[in-house]
């Protein structure tokens, strides 16, 4: 609530208050030189600051996610690109449910009554492989809202919603979707990212879209490796968006 009130005051002067993670950089980072640059992003067009988007970036969305308005804008626009694509919605790393709520709202705007499959432990990281994910990641980090609160947030008379708790990859067996139109991957760790990405690429319809969160954060290097490997396996290309830290994939 405080963040929403603060942003109403800051928005007229072009500022935004967002939650930030400590910038922990794994050591070693094999391609460290690719994580630096001279870019100055101070004077760029930022449509996500438009108050007209408040009809989508509602308190139900903003109050239940760690994603910034910029990331949510990317997510919203990518869901819109799937108009005309058959399939369900999928999210690995649902957290408190704000991004999933936005995915459902935009799908309803498009007149689509899609099933939604939303996965998380709802208890933070419960399995970490330090040899792959790094020693900077610990059990119980990223603990957000409990499952019952997320279920309540995502109740939707226009959609069949499944909120699945537990560790990926085991919980992927509970996702009974033959075809996906849109997927959002935000689990940060190597194993769940690798298996969730492969699961989605096997089912993503032509013209379907995937958004990967935190693809460009050094702290999530292991997840980026997993995404890149899965996409090579399926012959797909990833588009990196460094300023938002996200990446996109359009199924060919």
| CA gap 191, 172 in Å, rounded | 13
Domain locations in the chain as residue ranges: 2-250
**pTM of the complete model:** 0.87
What are the residue ranges of helices labelled H in the chain? 2-10, 59-62, 69-80, 98-109, 130-133, 147-153, 190-203, 221-233
Q: What is the band of 43 on the pLDDT scale with cuts at 50, 70, 90?
A: confident
> Does position 143 have pLDDT exceeding 70, yes or no?
yes
Examine the pLDDT at 23 and tell me if it is beyond 60: no
83-97: pLDDT as tens digits: 999 999 999 999 999
- 66 CB-contact burial (10 Å; exposed 0-12 / middle 13-18 / buried 19+): middle
At 180-238, the pLDDT tens digits run 999 999 999 999 999 999 999 999 999 999 999 999 999 999 999 999 999 999 999 99
CA distances from 49 to 17, 44, 104 (A): 12, 12, 21
CB 127 within 8 A of CB 167: yes
- Residue 1 CA to residue 160 CA, distance in Å, equals 29
Give me the CATH code for the 2-250 domain, please: 3.40.50.150
Which contacts (CB < 8 Å, 24+ apart) does range 166-173 have?
A: 166/119, 166/121, 167/121, 167/126, 167/127, 167/192, 168/92, 168/119, 168/192, 168/195, 168/196, 169/195, 169/196, 169/199, 171/119, 172/119, 172/196, 172/199
| pLDDT at residue 24, rounded to an integer | 61
């Amino acid at each position: 609530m405080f963040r929403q009130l603060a942003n109403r005051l800051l928005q007229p002067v072009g500022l935004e208050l967002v939650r930030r993670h400590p910038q922990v950089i794994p050591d070693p980072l094999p391609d460290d030189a690719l994580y630096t640059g001279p870019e100055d992003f101070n004077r760029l067009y930022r449509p996500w600051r438009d108050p007209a988007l408040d009809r989508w970036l509602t308190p139900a969305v903003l109050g239940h996610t760690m994603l910034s308005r910029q990331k949510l804008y990317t997510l919203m626009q990518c869901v819109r690109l799937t108009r005309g694509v058959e399939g369900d919605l999928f999210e690995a790393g649902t957290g408190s449910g704000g991004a999933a709520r936005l995915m459902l709202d935009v799908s309803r705007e498009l007149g689509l009554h899609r099933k939604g499959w939303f996965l998380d432990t709802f208890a933070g990281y419960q399995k970490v492989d330090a040899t792959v994910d790094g020693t900077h990641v610990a059990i119980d980090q990223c603990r957000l809202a409990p499952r019952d609160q997320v279920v309540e947030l995502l109740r939707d008379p226009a959609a069949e919603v499944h909120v699945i708790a537990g560790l990926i990859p085991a919980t992927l067996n509970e996702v009974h979707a033959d075809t996906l139109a849109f997927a959002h991957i935000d689990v940060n760790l190597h194993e769940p990212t690798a298996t969730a990405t492969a699961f989605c690429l096997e089912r993503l319809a032509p013209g379907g879209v995937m958004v990967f969160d935190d693809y460009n954060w050094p702290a999530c290097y292991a997840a980026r490796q997993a995404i890149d490997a899965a996409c090579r396996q399926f012959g797909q290309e990833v588009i990196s968006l460094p300023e938002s830290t996200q990446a996109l994939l359009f199924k060919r």
